[in-house]
Amino acid sequence: MGLTFVTPLLYALFDVPLVVGVVMVGVGYGASLIILREVTRGALLAVVVTATFGANIPLTDRAVFGVVGDLGAEIHLVYFPLVVITVATVTRNRLREAGMPMPGKLLGVFVLWILIAGLAIDPARPDAVVFGALFYLCALISFEKVRRVVANELLYGRSVIMTLCLAGIGHTIIGLVQFVTQSGFGYTQLGEGSPVVTATIGLGPMSGLAIGTYVSGFARWELGTVLVLVVCVLVGWSLQARRSRALAAGLAAVLCATVVRLQGFDANRGGLLVGLATVVTVVLYTTIRRQGLPISNGPLRPSSLYAKFGRLLLFVVLVAITLYPSSVSGQQRSGPELSAGRVESLVEALGVISIPFFDASSLLPRLEQTVQGLLIVRPHVLTGIGAANWKYVPEVTMRLHNAYLTLLVWTGLVGVVLYLCSLLLALRHGRALLRTVEDKLLYVGLIAGVVGFSASIFFRPFDRLTLLVPLWVVLGVLVGESQRIDRLSNGSWEHDD
C-alpha cells in the first residue's frame, strides 16, 4: 500500500515530489526483499500491484512521437518488477520447469505474429508495430512468471488473487475520496485520471453530484474495468468464507462496485452484471448437478436462514448499485454526423433505441467505429494493418472502442484466433480447478470476473497495460494452480493443453 497511500501522504505532508516518493517506496520495498531473501515472491507481488497504476515516464514528446494508449517510448511502473522477476527466475534455479502450456505457447506465437505480419505489410508506422509486440510481450512475461511461481508453490494462487484485490480496494478508497471531494488530487504522475465529468447523480437529499473519470484512484479510467474482475472475486470469497471474513469480502465488493458506478462507464456496468450473472449461473448449475461447489467449503448442506439472506442481499445490493440511475440514464441514441453511405440504412432500421438505466447516446459513434474498423482492415483481413496503425489511416476519424475489433484491425483474423484461443484455453484450466481445489467458489468468482472483464472491453479500448497485465496475471494463476494440482495428484506436469 506504499504507492497508494504513503507516496501521496509524503507529498501532502512533507512536500516530497511524487516521483521521489515512488522511488523511496520502491527502494525501501526492494531492500526489504533482499534482506528477507524473498526477491522472487516479492517481485511477483509487485508486478500485481504496479500493474494497476497508470503512472508512466514518457521518454519522447508524446505529441510528436506518441503512438496510442501505452504503446510508445515510455517507462511504466510495472516494468521494474517484471525485469526483477525475470532476472531472478533466470539466474536462480528455484523453479522446476512445468513446461510451457498451450495458452503460453499460443500467446508467444501471437507476439511473434504481431511483429512479423505487421512489418511484412509495410505499415505507416513500423515503430508502432514494434511497440505493439512489446506491449503484448508484457502480457506473456506476466503470465509465464505467475504461472511458474504458482505451479512451483512459491506462492499460492490465492495469495496472488488477494494481492490484486487489495490493490483494487486501495484504488477504490482513493476513488471514494475523490468522489466525496468532487475533484481529483492532481496526482497525474501517480496515474490519476483526467478530471472529466460525464454525468451527475443524486444521493438522497444531495443532487447534482458529479461522476466521471476523475473517480479513478491511481489507475486512470481503466480502474472500473479492473474492478469488475475484483468485485466478482470478492463475491466468490464472500460465498466461500465464513462470518467476519464473508462480511468483510461482501462490504469490499460493495465499495468496489460503487466506484464502478461512479466512474460512469456503461461498458463496465454491463460487464459487472455479466460477471455476477456468471457467478449465479455456475453456482446454481453445479449445485443442481451435485458437482461440489458448496458454500463455506463444506459438503452440500442447507445453509442457515441468515446466511442465505445475507448472500441474496449482497447480490441485490450489487445489482442495485450497478443499475443506479444518473442524469444520462435512459437517453436515446444520438451521435455526430455519420459518414455518407455507411450506417444510415442500419440506423433507420434500428429506429429509436433507449436502454433502461443505461445511456444509449453513444451507440451511433460506436457503430461508426465498427464500420470504419471493418473497412480499413478489409484489404488485410488475415494480417491486419499493423499494431496501432489505425491512427494513421486517413479514413479513421475516431478511436476504436472495442478490444476485439482493435485486435482484428491490428493483427487480422490470424492474430484474433491466436489470442482468443490462448485466453479460452487458459480458462479451460480454470474449469478443471473447480473439480479439484478447495477454494472452489473463489475460483468461480475469478472465472466469472474474467468473463465480466471480457464483456466490458467489448466497448472499451484495449491499449493500456493497466488492463492487459492484470488479465494475464489472473490467467497465469488459473494455469499455474492447475499444473500444481496435476503435479500433486500425478507426480508430473501433465496438464499442458
Among 60-69, 122-131, 355-364, the range scoring the smallest mean pLDDT is 60-69
Query: Does residue 353 have a pLDDT over 80?
Result: no
- Identify the weakest region by mean pLDDT among 18-32, 237-251, 252-266, 361-375: 361-375
Least confident of 235-239, 433-437, 480-484: 433-437
Residue of 370, 310, 305 lying closest to 343 (CA atoms): 370
Q: Is 50 exceeded by the pLDDT of residue 11?
A: yes
Among 220-229, 376-385, 394-403, 473-482, the range scoring the smallest mean pLDDT is 394-403
Is the CB of residue 266 less than 8 Å from the CB of residue 358? yes
pLDDT at 300 over 50: no
How high is the pLDDT of residue 333?
52
For every residue of 421-456, DSSP letters joined together read: HHHHHHHHHHHHHTTT-S-HHHHHHHHHHHHHHHHH
**pLDDT attached to residue 335:** 44
Residue 468 backbone zone (phi > 0: left; psi -120 to 50: alpha; other: beta): alpha
Question: Does residue 95 come out as left (phi exceeding 0), alpha (psi in the -120 to 50 range) or beta?
Answer: beta
The owner of cell 497508494 is: 4
Look at residue 190 in the predicted model and tell me its pLDDT.
87
Q: Residue 297: which pLDDT band, with cuts at 50, 70 and 90?
A: very low
Stronger pLDDT, 167 or 387, i.e. the higher one: 167
Tens digit of each residue's pLDDT (9 = 90 or more) over 156-166: 999 999 999 99
d(CA 149, CA 127): 33
What single letter denotes the amino acid at residue 75? Answer: I
| Residue 279 to residue 236: CA distance in whole angstroms | 8
| pLDDT value at residue 294 | 47
The per-residue pLDDT for 177 is 95
Cα separations (Å) of 349 from 207, 228, 230, 343? Answer: 37, 33, 39, 10
| Per-residue pLDDT at 68 exceeds 50 | yes
Evaluate whether 40 touches 88 at the Cβ level (below 8 Å): yes
**22 contacts: CB under 8 Å, gap ≥ 6:** 3, 7, 55, 77, 189, 190
Mean pLDDT, residues 69-89 taken together:
90
Residue 336 has what pLDDT? 43
Lowest mean pLDDT, pick from 86-100, 183-197, 478-492: 86-100
Write down the pLDDT at residue 90: 77
Pick 432 or 137 by higher pLDDT.
137
- Degrees (nearest 5) of the Cα angle 327, 328, 332? 145
**Between helices 243-263 and 157-181, what is the axis angle to 10°?**
50
For 201, the 3-state DSSP assignment is strand
SS3 sequence, 75-132?
Answer: EECCHHHHHHHHHHHHHCCCCCCCCCCHHHHHHHHHHHHHHHHHHHCCCCCHHHHHHH
pLDDT at residue 444 greater than cutoff 80: yes
pLDDT-based confidence at residue 424 (cuts at 50, 70, 90): very high
- Mean pLDDT score, 109-124: 93
d(CA 485, CA 493): 9
Ranges 118-122, 330-334, 352-356, 376-380: which has the least confidence: 330-334
Measured in whole angstroms, the distance separating CA 372 from the mean position of its chain's CA atoms is 26
How far apart, in Å, do the first and last CA atoms of the chain sit? 37
Looking at per-residue pLDDT, the higher value among 135 and 337 belongs to 135
Q: Where is pLDDT greater, at 64 or 10?
A: 10
Tens-digit pLDDT profile for residues 206-262: 889 999 999 999 999 899 999 999 999 999 999 988 888 999 999 999 999 999 999
pLDDT at 355: 74
- Determine the 3-state secondary structure of 303 from DSSP: coil
Q: Cα–Cα distance between 443 and 338 in angstroms, integer?
A: 44
